[in-house]
Amino acid sequence: MAGKPSSNVTELNSGHGHAGRNPGLPFEAELFGSLRINRSAVERRAATLGTRRSVKKNHQAAWLLRAISLIDLTTLAGDDTPGKVRRLCQKARRPVRPDVLAALGMSHAGLTTAAVCVYHNQIQVAVKALEGSGIPVAAVSTGFPAGQIPLELKLAQVRASVAAGASEIDIVISRAHVLTGNWRALYDEIAAYREACGDAHLKTILATGELGTLTQVAKASWVCMMGGADFIKTSTGKESVNATLPVSLVMVRAIRDYLELTGHAVGYKPAGGISKAKEALTYLSLMKEELDSRWLRPQLFRFGASSLLGDIERQLEHHVSGSYSASHRHPMG
């Protein structure tokens, strides 16, 4: 049996609280209007992320356990039922089989996922299933995934989700504002969502695969943060192109620049298409290299994923047993 993971991840979940809220900034187009992103330079840097740092053996197990604690375990399907959501919530409470945790010496670490993310009509089911766990419920809102409904209906959705018990709201921006350069309209929209959220944290989904250029991604990131977003998120998971490393690099550097200007830390959430443990390790390396270790916690970093957890479990079982197990040994519920 392999040894225990490094002691720097012995307390995986010290709580599900958030970092201090981002109050936003008054709208100033000058702060982002001159941004220009060199795609080839970004792609060259992104290509090094999976090769510059190699994490092996006990250290890899520790990083994978950390990755589990950063997952927004998600179900956003047309066939979602209360039973399916309850099973997912049980998985969020106990994301790794007890025998694997015991072999890793982590039985008493209190490991859970960061949150459970559902559609609005499943919020109360999830809240009840997670009662006493401290795991927050996140809800997608504002006409997810396309966002093609009137603003007043979007705001009503946000308020209804908060009233139902969601403590995190994942909204989709109006892509048309980005594609037409109507940055003030985007800012006003985000500020309205922030107000409607009240104490619930606001995660803004840029749907980066539909924004055209990395420059547009950078500008949209800035406007969302200026409007008061607590997190910026890549994708709904429904676009043809979801989270990518070049897009992530641009968004993370926008977060870094915003922090340097304002002193306020904004979280980052890549979502869609991240299904392998190796990919998760690369994203953790990105956050550590471009920001710092503070972002390797649920308050400032999340994976939007459903299948990622299963592959991480398989890698952890391989770490302790030397053999890969079948996927059905690590069900979602």
Domains of the chain: 29-329 (3.20.20.70)
- C-alpha 276/C-alpha 311 separation (Å) is 6
As to burial, measured by CB atoms within 10 angstroms (0-12 exposed, 13-18 middle, 19+ buried), residue 282 is buried
Burial 72-88 (b: 16+ CB within 10 A, else e): bbbbbeeebeeebbbbb
Q: Are 183 and 219 in contact (CB under 8 A)?
A: yes
Q: What is the dihedral of CA 313, 314, 317, 321, to 10 degrees?
A: 180
Q: For residue 53, what pLDDT is reported?
A: 65
- C-alpha 277/C-alpha 327 separation (Å) is 14
Q: For residue 52, what pLDDT is reported?
A: 66
Question: What is the 8-class DSSP label of residue 143?
Answer: S
Residue 231, SS3 per DSSP: strand
**Whole-Å CA distances, 125 to 116, 154, 298, 304, 326:** 11, 22, 23, 20, 30
Q: If you write DSSP's letter for every residue of 12-34 in order, what string do you get? A: --S-S--PPP-------GGGTTT
Closest CA to 256 of 302, 226, 208, 292: 292
**Whole-Å CA distances, 168 to 40, 92, 202, 205, 264:** 35, 16, 6, 13, 19
**Any idea which residues carry the catalytic annotation?**
170, 233, 269
Q: What are 232's strand-pairing partners?
A: 204, 268
How confident is the chain (333 residues) per 10-residue block, as mean pLDDT? 40 50 96 97 92 79 97 96 97 95 94 98 98 98 97 98 98 98 98 98 97 97 98 95 96 98 97 94 95 95 94 93 75 64
- C-alpha 43/C-alpha 245 separation (Å) is 8
* Angle at alpha carbon of residue 212, lines to 206 and 214, rounded to 5°: 75
